[in-house]
Amino acid sequence: QNYLDNFWPDLKAARELFDSILQARHEREIESQENNGKEYPEHLPKEVLEAGIKSGRYMQGTLNVNKHRAQLEAFVRLQGFGSKETG
């Protein structure tokens, strides 16, 4: 803010961008406090998930994300499926 005030006082677009970034940061801090420091809120309580896994309603697995195409390519490897072991 000091930089903009001192060197670019007439640059309205930069001021608007700075204010937007500041507001987004403030909103993220509020959300973090509301979620007890967690970046993402939990969707279902842990007990519900555990019961759902035991009943077969939900499946548990490992999320694998392509590090080179993270926004486009990911899959979940289910526990007990797709392993090389034959049972």
- Written as six digits, the tokens of 18 are 């700075």
Torsion of CA 30, 34, 39, 41, to 10 degrees: -140
* More confidently predicted of 45 and 23: 23
Q: Residue 37: what pLDDT?
A: 64
Instruction: Assess contact for 46 and 38: CB atoms under 8 A.
Output: no
pTM for this model (two decimals)? 0.39
- Among residues 40, 80, 82, 85, which one has the least CA distance to residue 59? 80
Between the alpha carbon of residue 22 and those of residues 7, 17, 33, 35, 74, the distances in Å are 19, 9, 17, 20, 32
Average pLDDT on 17-35 reads 84
Q: Residue 31: what pLDDT?
A: 76
Q: Residue 86: what pLDDT?
A: 43
